[in-house]
Amino acid sequence: MSRRPHRSSSRAGLGKDFLELLSIPVAELTGLLRLAAQLKVKQRRGVSHPLLQGRMLGLLFQKPSTRTRVSFEAGMNQLGGQAMVLPMGDIQLSRGESVADTAHVLSRYLDAIVLRTFDHAIAEEWAREASIPVINGLTDLNHPCQALSDLLTIQEKKRRLKGIKIAYVGDGNNVTNSLIEAAAKMGMTIAVGCPPGYQPDRGIVDRAREEARQTGAVIEIGADPFVAVKDADVVYTDVWISMGQEREQAKRLKILAPYQLNARLLKCAKPDALVMHCLPAHRGEEISAEVLDGPQSVVFDQAENRLHMQKAILVRLLGKKPARST
């Protein structure tokens, strides 16, 4: 994961872009959760909801994707719009065209862009240069769409967010960072257990603690997974080797082995604790098959909720604008 100092987006709220959670007002996040739940009900009842008729979404991916790509593409289609995947290697960015020039051109063709890339500064540059909304589909620093979808899942299962304790164990990566932001905004407790050198971004933790003073959230960063998981309502983990870290595989497997989410660790949580993982999962590494496939696991509910939350984000960013004329 990126260890550079964090720089926040220059645009607050959902006025234009969706890059991180800390810069979005609590009322906006609550509204997105409500809208996602409503859109989920409509879809399950078979009710048509073409709220983005005539809109066009571009998906620019430098990293492989299953859930992000399919949820945004399917979601845009279900909302009456269209989506096109634009692999970075297939466009002129791969031959040296600048982000600025590409962003200016795509802003003339599209209504919004989902970006999945490495350095978070790239997403910030796209947001500065594009005149259309830029949505962070994942960077090495943040994964806000995932964390917001996770809040939807927790709210569905636990009927509340405030006061809920999330325990995260393993590699303190982009998912960890965004979960910390989410917990801080919604008045939750998050306890992180990660080995030294693999803990979440210090800049995000500091900013989240400032937010927590306003919301009553509690943010605990430690190295002991059993301490983190004690009395947790939700126990969360993610892969140990993220995209771009393959050369570190042997080292990471050795250092992170004591942080596996298994039955022994899960016993430290509340008896009705949820098991969460953003997928893809490596059974036998960061999580045991017994736990991932067990009765407390909600990982496929999480995955489904990516669809409904992406749709809510798209509607909030695009729904009140007139359709592009042809």
CA angle at residue 200 from 307 to 234, to 5 degrees? 55
116 assigned to a ligand binding site:
yes
- Whether omega before 225 lies within 30 degrees of 0, making that bond cis, reads no
Q: E-strand spans in 124-282?
A: 134-138, 165-169, 189-193, 218-222, 234-237, 274-277
238 assigned to a ligand binding site:
yes
144 assigned to a ligand binding site:
yes
Structure tokens at 20: 């991180």
Q: Is 109 exposed, middle or buried (0-12, 13-18, 19+ CB in 10 A)?
A: exposed
3-state secondary structure of 30: helix
Known active-site residue 53: no
**Structural contact between residues 35 and 313, judged by C-beta atoms closer than 8 angstroms:** no
CA distance 91 to 74: 23
> Of 6, 120, 306, 308, which residue is the catalytic one?
306
66 assigned to a ligand binding site:
yes
Known active-site residue 238: yes
252 assigned to a ligand binding site:
no
6 assigned to a ligand binding site:
no
206 assigned to a ligand binding site:
no
136 assigned to a ligand binding site:
no
264 assigned to a ligand binding site:
no
53 assigned to a ligand binding site:
no
68 assigned to a ligand binding site:
yes
Known active-site residue 146: yes
> Of 207, 278, 308, 310, which residue is the catalytic one?
278
> Of 150, 171, 201, 238, which residue is the catalytic one?
238
> Of 6, 55, 120, 143, which residue is the catalytic one?
143
CA distance 176 to 237: 9
CA distance 316 to 324: 17
> Of 62, 146, 260, 302, which residue is the catalytic one?
146
> Of 6, 55, 116, 277, which residue is the catalytic one?
116
- Total residues belonging to the chain: 326
306 assigned to a ligand binding site:
yes
Task: Output the CA torsion sign for 190, 9, 304, 39.
Answer: positive
Known active-site residue 310: no
CA distance 307 to 71: 4
Q: Check residue 243 and report its DSSP letter.
A: T
145 assigned to a ligand binding site:
yes
**Structural contact between residues 131 and 100, judged by C-beta atoms closer than 8 angstroms:** no
Q: Where in the sequence numbering do the catalytic residues fall? A: 116, 143, 146, 238, 278, 306
- Residue ranges for the known binding site are 65-68, 92, 116, 143-146, 174, 238, 242-243, 278-279, 306
- Residue ranges for the known binding site for carbamoyl phosphate are 65-68, 92, 116, 143-146, 278-279, 306
- Residue ranges for the known binding site for L-ornithine are 174, 238, 242-243
